[in-house]
Amino acid sequence: MKRFALPAACLAALLAAGCGDKSSKDEKVLKIGFSVPSSRETRWARDLAQMRSQAEEIGVQLLTAVSENNAPQQLAQCDSLLAGGVAVLIVAPQDARAAGEIARRARKAGVKVIAYDRMILGAPVDLYVSFDNRKVGQLQARALAARAPRGNYVLLSGAPTDTNSAVLRRGALDVLEPLAARGDIKIVMDQAVKDWHPAEAQRLVAEALLQNSGDIQAVLAPNDTTAGAAIKALEQYQLAGKVPVSGQDAEAAAIRRILAGTQEATVFKDPRQQAAAAFGAAMSLAASGRVPEATFIYSGKNKIPALLLAPQGINKDNANEVLVVSGFISLRELRAKPAETAADNSAN
């Protein structure tokens, strides 16, 4: 899997700080903490793998933690990472507001905090590294509108505890509201999916199908695990492959569905880019306390330095070239039977 090199400035700062010298004693090896919210979506496993390979390349110790969609558990895990002596804590929060306590405890310990992919609310962080999530929602909606320019739409958004969910939905509505205003489409359901849980997504789509006697022309699922679940609901009405469904994360299971014609599209947010950006920023913060290349976003009253990356729409026309030929998804992974991949199981 191609790796993205650290920005030169980060490497220079790192070496100047004497880190990365593999022969150095343990106490000089820089420690970075990385906390992710779940193992349900395969994208978090990819983020962990990318961060580990960045750390190995530099000779930095990476301490990781995976919570099972459990905010108190993530707080306890981050306490352990702080106790483990990390200089920078990178967190993808299970619950944006609850994670404010993680940021407060890190700041009290003199540890820099990077909000990874999802924003942390209620306390300032040193950097936010994510993709343009409004653009993600626009890409999802555009893929559906191209296939279903008229009819009844189901609009699902992600967990209300995840700041990305409202931004995704805003992006989708940028595309769908004008179509609804013209009377071309009607949004017959507009619901958040608690915890991004596939079972909840499947229940909601089944409810929309029942309420509309199967007269649904498109489903905007906020990510690939919920897309897989939505397609299971459509199968009950023999509509899988006939009603376009969007997703996000370019999971192997989703690429299988896109190539098979049951999922219309997904959105690729390259973890190699996101991990390199976060890791490089962590090096800069550890060495100089600053991240030179950041722009800014506002989170409440707080003006937060941010690195926002560009997402890419994926459909049957470019999936193979962008994801398989590039080596991001192996042919073995692509051919794996559904039971062999966690993401497929989580849709049940």
Footprint of ligand GAL on this chain (CB under 6 A)? 41, 43, 117-118, 158, 162, 164, 196, 223, 248-249, 269
Least gap, CB of 58 to ligand GAL (angstroms): 26
Least gap, CB of 153 to ligand GAL (angstroms): 21
Nearer to ligand GAL, 7 or 251 (CB): 251
Least gap, CB of 41 to ligand GAL (angstroms): 4
Least gap, CB of 74 to ligand GAL (angstroms): 13
* Widest Cα–Cα separation across the chain: 68
Q: Strand 295-299 to strand 302-309: parallel, antiparallel, or no bridges (unpaired)?
A: antiparallel
- What is the distance of C-alpha 182 from the center of its chain? 33
Nearer to ligand GAL, 200 or 249 (CB): 249
**CB 69, CB 94: distance < 8 Å:** yes
**CB 270, CB 131: distance < 8 Å:** no
Nearer to ligand GAL, 112 or 269 (CB): 269
Residues sharing a CB contact under 8 Å with residue 228, sequence separation 6 or more, in sequence order: 198, 247, 253, 254, 257, 263, 343, 344, 347
Helical axes 8-16 vs 271-288, angle rounded to 10°: 40
Least gap, CB of 163 to ligand GAL (angstroms): 8
Residue type, 253: A
Nearer to ligand GAL, 224 or 333 (CB): 224
Residue type, 243: V
